[in-house]
Amino acid sequence: MARDRILTLHFNDGTRMAFEFAEQASHVLVKEAKLKEILAGQNLVIEAEGQVMIFPMTSIKYIAFNSFGEAFAKGPALPKHAITNARVLDS
């Protein structure tokens, strides 16, 4: 299973932490449900390298999801109010 996705957590204190991982679900409806669950939750739970990490959403300034090539096209539908096809000018 290819690890072709990257999730970067940007915390309120200015630090960040990145995770590389494989596709978590193959069906688009399951992906959409997972994304909704993450956005609605009070904590983000990540299992990595034998550890379970729990991040309070209140400590996270923003989350960046990246995937490469075909993987992005197979992702979940974004909320209807999402701005798409944007480009970062200054971060």
pLDDT in tens, 31-88: 778 888 888 999 999 999 999 999 999 999 999 988 755 545 556 667 778 787 788 7
What confidence score (pLDDT) does residue 9 get? 96
What confidence score (pLDDT) does residue 44 get? 94
> pTM (2 decimals)?
0.76
Question: Which tokens hold the place of 37?
Answer: 């669950």
Number of Cβ within a 10 Å radius of residue 9: 19
Cβ neighbours of residue 58 under 8 Å, at least 6 residues apart?
A: 12, 42
CB 9 within 8 A of CB 63: yes
Question: If you search the block for the tokens 């204190």, which residue do you land on?
Answer: 13
Residue pLDDT, tens place only, 1-29: 677 788 999 999 999 999 998 877 777 78
